Structure 1
Protein backbone atom coordinates (compact mmCIF):
# COMPACT_ATOMS: atom_id res chain seq x y z
CA UNK A 1 0.00 0.00 0.00
CA UNK A 2 1.35 3.41 -0.98
CA UNK A 3 2.07 5.90 1.75
CA UNK A 4 1.16 9.56 1.45
CA UNK A 5 3.95 12.08 0.94
CA UNK A 6 4.12 14.62 3.80
CA UNK A 7 2.84 18.10 2.99
CA UNK A 8 6.16 19.71 3.96
CA UNK A 9 7.98 17.59 1.38
CA UNK A 10 5.44 18.50 -1.27
CA UNK A 11 5.80 22.19 -0.50
CA UNK A 12 9.59 21.96 -0.56
CA UNK A 13 9.52 20.25 -3.94
CA UNK A 14 7.00 22.77 -5.28
CA UNK A 15 9.22 25.63 -4.09
CA UNK A 16 12.26 24.10 -5.79
CA UNK A 17 10.35 23.66 -9.03
CA UNK A 18 9.15 27.28 -8.80
CA UNK A 19 12.72 28.40 -8.14
CA UNK A 20 13.97 26.43 -11.13
CA UNK A 21 11.31 27.76 -13.48
CA UNK A 22 10.75 31.36 -12.34
CA UNK A 23 14.00 32.11 -10.55
CA UNK A 24 15.93 30.50 -13.38
CA UNK A 25 14.05 32.64 -15.88
CA UNK A 26 14.88 35.83 -13.97
CA UNK A 27 18.54 34.80 -13.75
CA UNK A 28 18.77 33.91 -17.43
CA UNK A 29 17.04 37.04 -18.66
CA UNK A 30 19.31 39.31 -16.63
CA UNK A 31 22.38 37.26 -17.64
CA UNK A 32 21.42 37.55 -21.31
CA UNK A 33 21.15 41.32 -21.11
CA UNK A 34 24.36 41.62 -19.09
CA UNK A 35 26.37 39.34 -21.38
CA UNK A 36 25.11 41.09 -24.49
CA UNK A 37 26.81 44.26 -23.23
CA UNK A 38 30.09 42.45 -22.59
CA UNK A 39 30.65 40.79 -25.96
CA UNK A 40 32.85 43.03 -28.16
CA UNK A 41 30.90 42.50 -31.38
CA UNK A 42 28.04 44.13 -33.25
CA UNK A 43 24.77 44.41 -31.35
CA UNK A 44 22.97 41.58 -33.16
CA UNK A 45 25.90 39.18 -32.80
CA UNK A 46 26.32 40.04 -29.11
CA UNK A 47 22.65 39.43 -28.38
CA UNK A 48 22.69 36.16 -30.33
CA UNK A 49 25.78 34.91 -28.51
CA UNK A 50 24.33 35.88 -25.13
CA UNK A 51 21.05 34.16 -25.97
CA UNK A 52 22.82 30.97 -26.98
CA UNK A 53 24.88 31.04 -23.79
CA UNK A 54 21.72 31.53 -21.76
CA UNK A 55 20.68 27.92 -22.43
CA UNK A 56 23.74 26.73 -20.54
CA UNK A 57 23.09 29.23 -17.73
CA UNK A 58 19.49 28.01 -17.40
CA UNK A 59 20.60 24.39 -17.28
CA UNK A 60 23.10 25.27 -14.56
CA UNK A 61 20.41 27.14 -12.63
CA UNK A 62 18.12 24.12 -12.66
CA UNK A 63 20.92 21.86 -11.48
CA UNK A 64 21.83 24.39 -8.77
CA UNK A 65 18.27 24.53 -7.40
CA UNK A 66 18.06 20.78 -6.91
CA UNK A 67 21.66 20.36 -5.71
CA UNK A 68 21.74 22.76 -2.76
CA UNK A 69 20.57 21.66 0.67
CA UNK A 70 18.23 24.47 1.63
CA UNK A 71 15.47 26.33 -0.17
CA UNK A 72 16.79 29.64 1.07
CA UNK A 73 20.15 28.99 -0.55
CA UNK A 74 18.46 27.87 -3.77
CA UNK A 75 16.43 31.07 -4.05
CA UNK A 76 19.25 33.37 -2.98
CA UNK A 77 21.66 31.64 -5.33
CA UNK A 78 19.42 32.62 -8.22
CA UNK A 79 18.06 36.01 -7.20
CA UNK A 80 21.23 37.67 -5.87
CA UNK A 81 23.25 37.14 -9.09
CA UNK A 82 20.19 38.12 -11.14
CA UNK A 83 19.87 41.36 -9.22
CA UNK A 84 23.60 42.06 -9.50
CA UNK A 85 23.62 41.47 -13.26
CA UNK A 86 20.51 43.61 -13.63
CA UNK A 87 22.13 46.52 -11.82
CA UNK A 88 25.36 46.10 -13.79
CA UNK A 89 23.34 46.04 -17.01
CA UNK A 90 21.76 49.35 -16.10
CA UNK A 91 25.19 50.80 -15.36
CA UNK A 92 26.60 49.52 -18.64
CA UNK A 93 23.60 50.87 -20.53
CA UNK A 94 24.02 54.26 -18.93
CA UNK A 95 27.77 54.58 -19.41
CA UNK A 96 28.80 52.05 -22.04
CA UNK A 97 26.11 50.99 -24.43
CA UNK A 98 26.68 48.69 -27.35
CA UNK A 99 29.81 48.68 -29.50
CA UNK A 100 28.22 49.42 -32.85
Structure 2
Protein backbone atom coordinates (compact mmCIF):
# COMPACT_ATOMS: atom_id res chain seq x y z
CA UNK A 1 0.00 0.00 0.00
CA UNK A 2 1.35 3.39 -0.97
CA UNK A 3 1.68 5.63 2.13
CA UNK A 4 1.10 8.78 0.06
CA UNK A 5 -2.30 7.67 -1.23
CA UNK A 6 -5.05 9.03 1.01
CA UNK A 7 -8.47 7.49 0.56
CA UNK A 8 -10.40 10.10 2.50
CA UNK A 9 -10.87 13.40 0.63
CA UNK A 10 -10.84 15.46 3.83
CA UNK A 11 -7.44 14.14 4.86
CA UNK A 12 -6.07 14.83 1.39
CA UNK A 13 -7.25 18.41 1.60
CA UNK A 14 -5.81 18.77 5.10
CA UNK A 15 -2.47 17.45 3.86
CA UNK A 16 -2.46 19.88 0.93
CA UNK A 17 -3.29 22.81 3.22
CA UNK A 18 -0.50 21.72 5.58
CA UNK A 19 1.88 21.41 2.64
CA UNK A 20 0.90 24.87 1.42
CA UNK A 21 1.32 26.53 4.81
CA UNK A 22 4.26 24.70 6.36
CA UNK A 23 6.02 23.52 3.23
CA UNK A 24 5.67 26.94 1.65
CA UNK A 25 7.02 28.58 4.78
CA UNK A 26 10.01 26.22 4.87
CA UNK A 27 10.78 26.84 1.21
CA UNK A 28 10.44 30.61 1.50
CA UNK A 29 12.60 30.68 4.65
CA UNK A 30 15.28 28.54 3.04
CA UNK A 31 15.21 30.90 0.06
CA UNK A 32 15.81 33.93 2.30
CA UNK A 33 18.71 32.24 4.08
CA UNK A 34 20.23 31.13 0.79
CA UNK A 35 19.99 34.64 -0.69
CA UNK A 36 21.54 36.11 2.45
CA UNK A 37 24.56 33.85 2.13
CA UNK A 38 24.93 33.57 -1.65
CA UNK A 39 24.46 37.17 -2.77
CA UNK A 40 26.96 39.95 -2.09
CA UNK A 41 26.08 42.63 0.46
CA UNK A 42 24.44 41.05 3.49
CA UNK A 43 21.68 43.56 4.21
CA UNK A 44 20.69 44.05 0.58
CA UNK A 45 20.85 40.31 -0.11
CA UNK A 46 18.57 39.49 2.81
CA UNK A 47 16.15 42.25 1.78
CA UNK A 48 16.08 40.95 -1.81
CA UNK A 49 15.55 37.43 -0.50
CA UNK A 50 12.67 38.52 1.71
CA UNK A 51 10.99 40.38 -1.13
CA UNK A 52 11.33 37.43 -3.49
CA UNK A 53 10.21 35.00 -0.80
CA UNK A 54 6.64 36.24 -1.24
CA UNK A 55 6.73 35.04 -4.83
CA UNK A 56 8.29 31.74 -3.72
CA UNK A 57 5.57 31.28 -1.09
CA UNK A 58 2.74 31.99 -3.54
CA UNK A 59 4.31 29.53 -5.99
CA UNK A 60 4.46 26.92 -3.23
CA UNK A 61 0.79 27.42 -2.40
CA UNK A 62 -0.19 27.11 -6.06
CA UNK A 63 1.97 23.96 -6.34
CA UNK A 64 0.34 22.47 -3.22
CA UNK A 65 -3.08 22.62 -4.86
CA UNK A 66 -1.96 21.56 -8.32
CA UNK A 67 -3.56 18.41 -9.68
CA UNK A 68 -0.54 16.21 -8.95
CA UNK A 69 -0.20 13.31 -6.51
CA UNK A 70 0.15 14.28 -2.86
CA UNK A 71 3.56 12.67 -2.46
CA UNK A 72 4.88 14.70 -5.37
CA UNK A 73 3.53 17.88 -3.76
CA UNK A 74 5.40 17.19 -0.52
CA UNK A 75 8.60 16.19 -2.29
CA UNK A 76 8.34 19.20 -4.58
CA UNK A 77 8.36 21.46 -1.53
CA UNK A 78 10.66 19.68 0.91
CA UNK A 79 13.46 18.64 -1.45
CA UNK A 80 14.14 22.18 -2.78
CA UNK A 81 13.87 23.59 0.76
CA UNK A 82 16.42 21.07 2.03
CA UNK A 83 18.68 21.70 -0.96
CA UNK A 84 18.61 25.49 -0.45
CA UNK A 85 19.25 25.14 3.28
CA UNK A 86 22.11 22.72 2.66
CA UNK A 87 23.69 24.99 0.05
CA UNK A 88 23.35 27.97 2.39
CA UNK A 89 25.04 26.04 5.21
CA UNK A 90 27.83 24.95 2.86
CA UNK A 91 28.40 28.48 1.56
CA UNK A 92 28.37 29.91 5.08
CA UNK A 93 30.95 27.35 6.19
CA UNK A 94 33.15 28.08 3.16
CA UNK A 95 33.04 31.82 3.83
CA UNK A 96 34.16 31.23 7.40
Query: What is the match of residue 88 of structure 2?
Result: 89
Inter-partner Cα distance in structure 2 for 1:52 and 1:68: 28
The number of residues matched between the two structures is 90
Q: Which residue of 2 aligns with 1:77?
A: 76
Report deviation, 1:68: 3.9
Q: TM-score, normalised by structure 1?
A: 0.84
Q: What is the DSSP-based 3-state SS (H/G/I as helix, E as strand, rest coil) of the residue aligned with 1:67? A: coil
Structure 1 gap segments, 5+ residues each: 1-6
Residues 38, 88 of structure 2: 8 Å contact kept: no
- Structure 1 residue 83 displacement after superposition: 0.6
**Structure number, greater radius of gyration:** 1
- SS of residue paired to 2:34: helix
Q: CA deviation at 1:88?
A: 0.5
- Give the gaps of 5 or more residues in structure 2: 1-6
2:44 is equivalent to residue 45 of structure 1: yes
Q: CA RMSD in A?
A: 1.3
Structure 2 equivalent of residue 23 of structure 1: 23
Q: Under a length normalisation based on structure 2, what TM-score does the superposition of the two structures give?
A: 0.88
Q: Distance in 2 between matches of 1:68 and 1:83?
A: 23
Q: Is the 8 A contact 1:36 1:46 kept in 2?
A: yes
